[in-house]
Structure 1
Amino acid sequence: MLSIIPLQTLPAGLTLIALIVLAIVVVALWQSVVIVDAYEKKALTVLGEYRGLLEPGISFVPPFVSATQTFDMRTQTLDVPAQEAITRDNSPVRADAVVYIKVMNAKKAFLEVENYERAVSNLAQTTLRAVLGDMELDDTLNKRQEINAKIREELDEPTDEWGIRVESVEVREVNPSKDVQQAMEQQTSAERKRRAMILEAQGERRSAIEEAQGEKQSDIIRAQGKKQSQILEAQGDAISTVLRAKSAESMGERAVIEKGMETLESIGQGESQTFVLPQELTSLVSRYGQHLTGADTSGNEPDLESLDFDDETRELLGIDDIAEIIGEIEDTEIDIEGMEEQAQAIKQGADEPSIESADIDDVPEDVEDIE
């Protein structure tokens, strides 16, 4: 059977050798085990010879003669320090940028370039200065996307040989010198003043045009109003003149008719049944009736009862009294033939009884009342 010999029983020299061997075994085991993270790859060399890439996980390598270099396979950010550049129009500017890169081939990044991060940063600095030097000052301030695209294009070809891909380039700031900044501020201020003056002049011009158009429209409206007022005034004067003339004529005829109506009223109150009316009075009554009713001169006598007047107008004109008197005249029978025979007898000198000796029954009673 195998028995373990205590170290105390061994000689002092053998105990030291055992401890050294044990330490070497532990160190060898530690050196032979390599742990690779999920986002990394490691390049392995044995005695200076490239042996390959270690994938994520646990790997065993020859102890004491192996070496590894870690490559982060994630996207990395590289700051490009601020660079001084002279633009094509001889204006000094200062710019810095950020470059986003990613290791696509760890073997090339290990074998083709010493330090890919420093190499990409230095290449981005020189490219930034070159791109700014080929542009005008205004373009460097306004065309950021164009600058980014040019820098990326310049970095793509050399970085591909290193197994590095440039994903994006962003220029953060482009600052001209202080003198240029002051000149630009003055230029901007002058441009703003110029625009303000132009806008103010345009506003004044527009205001003057609007004011002139308003005055023109106002003058036109006043002229039209004055013209219309004169027309209406002239029409009013003409109508007033006509109405005054008609009123005077109507009032004259009315005075005559009223006088005649008073006479007819006194005649109508007598006992006689025969009346003799002057032709002028009947013609005047007929003409006045036509004037009141607006009838034509065709001979048709107007019906006073059918006139459409209000009560106040009828009372003012005396239409009811006139109709009553005319009705009484129409109901009275005048013996025209008897009156003609008497007139003929008087003319021939015949023995005709006088009025005193005449038979009262043969003479109408109303004749005595006729003047």
Structure 2
Amino acid sequence: MVFLYILILVLIVAGIWASSCVRVIKQYERGLVFRWGRVQSAVRGPGLAVIAPVADRLQKVNLQVVTMPVPAQEGITRDNVTVRVDAVVYFKVVDPTQAIVNVEDYRFAIGQVAQASLRSIIGKSDLDDLLSNREKLNQGLELMIDTPALDWGIHIDRVEIKDVALPEAMKRSMSRQAEAERDRRARVISADGEFQASQKLSDAARVMADTPAALQLRLLETVVAVAAEKNSTLVLPFPVELLRFLEHARETPESVKPIRESAPQRSDDEQ
């Protein structure tokens, strides 16, 4: 009976020892073993990892890509505009040993570097760059964060500026500027159209000057176009040349009649 109790006790102790010696490492993790405080060179891969129950301590490191939002940072741009800019950083651990040994908390460190770099980018950029040239700013921000992260075994995949918050007064000013720009473009386009139309009219006037009949045809076409509107009054200009022709035609019979009446008559003696 005593032997049975001893066997049960041994099994319990063996189970406790086995549970303290065996660790399960997931596929996206790596295990870093500390033996008496010293890091072992061999990094444990996914699966079962057996360690010494007292001497060893296993620390798991996640190798997945981490999405870290950067809180909105307020700053003054190079052209003296106050803005609030937030961003997001994508990074992952490429060297578990450096990520654990070289920095106390690599997530916190990356977050602080990202905030400081974002404020620096705001101070070095103009407002137009923040609004329209974000790709270049993203590359510069990624380079600024990646430089210290390399010593921590961290690789920065990408950095994206999400939103740029402007003061209400600046929004109204930009709205008025955009409206004025659209008005300017509309006036330029209208003036350009008038200029082109004047050139075409000048060419048409030269053609009609060489061919007077073309002016009459154009007049008739205009009359036809205006007459299509039944609710309009049509004022038709009468050519002066036609009036002169009618006047000349009316004066011709009157000038012939006196000539006939004033013809000399022969006397009876001459006959």
TM-score (norm 1): 0.53
Q: CA contact under 8 A between 2:208 and 2:215: conserved in structure 1?
A: no
Match of 2:16 among 7, 12, 27: 27
Equivalent in the alignment of 2:210 = 220
Aligned pair in 2 of structure 1 residues 65, 193: CA closer, same or farther (>3 Å)? Answer: same
Equivalent in the alignment of 2:32 = 43
Match of 2:180 among 190, 198, 203: 190
Q: CA contact under 8 A between 1:28 and 1:64: conserved in structure 2?
A: no
Task: Tell me, in whole angstroms, the C-alpha distance in 2 between the residues paired with 1:178 and 1:35.
Answer: 55
Measured after TM superposition, the shift of residue 55 of structure 1 is: 1.7
Q: String of CA shifts for 1:43-70, please: whole Å, max 9, x gaps.
A: 1123433234222221111124432221
Equivalent in the alignment of 2:161 = 171
Task: Tell me, in whole angstroms, the C-alpha distance in 2 between the residues paired with 1:121 and 1:225.
Answer: 80
Equivalent in the alignment of 1:201 = 191
Task: Tell me, in whole angstroms, the C-alpha distance in 1 between the residues paired with 2:69 and 2:89.
Answer: 6
Task: Tell me, in whole angstroms, the C-alpha distance in 1 between the residues paired with 2:154 and 2:206.
Answer: 78
Task: Tell me, in whole angstroms, the C-alpha distance in 2 between the residues paired with 1:88 and 1:147.
Answer: 14
Aligned pair in 2 of structure 1 residues 27, 64: CA closer, same or farther (>3 Å)? Answer: farther
Q: Which runs of 5+ in 1 are unaligned?
A: 8-14, 227-371
Equivalent in the alignment of 1:131 = 121
Alignment of 1:76 with 2:66, yes or no, is: yes
Runs ≥4 residues deviating over 4 A: 4-7, 17-22, 223-226
Q: String of CA shifts for 1:197-256, please: whole Å, max 9, x gaps.
A: 111122122223322322331232117999xxxxxxxxxxxxxxxxxxxxxxxxxxxxxx
Equivalent in the alignment of 1:245 = none
Equivalent in the alignment of 1:319 = none
Q: Which runs of 5+ in 2 are unaligned?
A: 217-271
Aligned pair in 2 of structure 1 residues 192, 22: CA closer, same or farther (>3 Å)? Answer: same
Matches within 5 A, 1:262-277: none
Q: Give SS of 1:153's match.
A: helix
Equivalent in the alignment of 1:293 = none
Q: CA contact under 8 A between 1:37 and 1:56: conserved in structure 2?
A: yes
Relative contact order higher in (CA < 8 Å, ≥ 6 apart): 2
Q: String of CA shifts for 1:137-167, please: whole Å, max 9, x gaps.
A: 1122122121111112112221111011112
Q: Give SS of 2:40's match.
A: strand
Alignment of 1:88 with 2:74, yes or no, is: no
Measured after TM superposition, the shift of residue 179 of structure 1 is: 1.5
Task: Tell me, in whole angstroms, the C-alpha distance in 1 between the residues paired with 2:7 and 2:2.
Answer: 12
Matches within 5 A, 1:1-371: 5=2, 22-52=11-41, 53-222=43-212
Instruction: Point out the structure with the larger strand share.
Output: 2
Q: CA contact under 8 A between 2:77 and 2:83: conserved in structure 1?
A: yes
Amino acid across the alignment from 2:171: Q
Q: Aligned residue pairs: how many?
A: 215
Equivalent in the alignment of 2:240 = none
Task: Tell me, in whole angstroms, the C-alpha distance in 1 between the residues paired with 2:35 and 2:54.
Answer: 9
Task: Tell me, in whole angstroms, the C-alpha distance in 1 between the residues paired with 2:77 and 2:188.
Answer: 33
Amino acid across the alignment from 1:145: E
Whose radius of gyration is greater, 1 or 2?
A: 1
**Aligned-residue identity in percent:** 32
Task: Tell me, in whole angstroms, the C-alpha distance in 2 between the residues paired with 1:112 and 1:225.
Answer: 92
Q: String of CA shifts for 1:85-144, please: whole Å, max 9, x gaps.
A: 210111011212222212111101010111112211210111011011111111221221
Q: CA contact under 8 A between 2:95 and 2:154: conserved in structure 1?
A: yes
Q: String of CA shifts for 1:274-301, please: whole Å, max 9, x gaps.
A: xxxxxxxxxxxxxxxxxxxxxxxxxxxx
Task: Tell me, in whole angstroms, the C-alpha distance in 2 between the residues paired with 1:29 and 1:224.
Answer: 110
Q: Give SS of 2:125's match.
A: coil
Task: Tell me, in whole angstroms, the C-alpha distance in 2 between the residues paired with 1:39 and 1:214.
Answer: 80
Q: Give SS of 1:74's match.
A: coil
TM-score (norm 2): 0.71
Q: What is the RMSD computed on CA atoms of the aligned residues?
A: 2.4
Measured after TM superposition, the shift of residue 20 of structure 1 is: 5.8
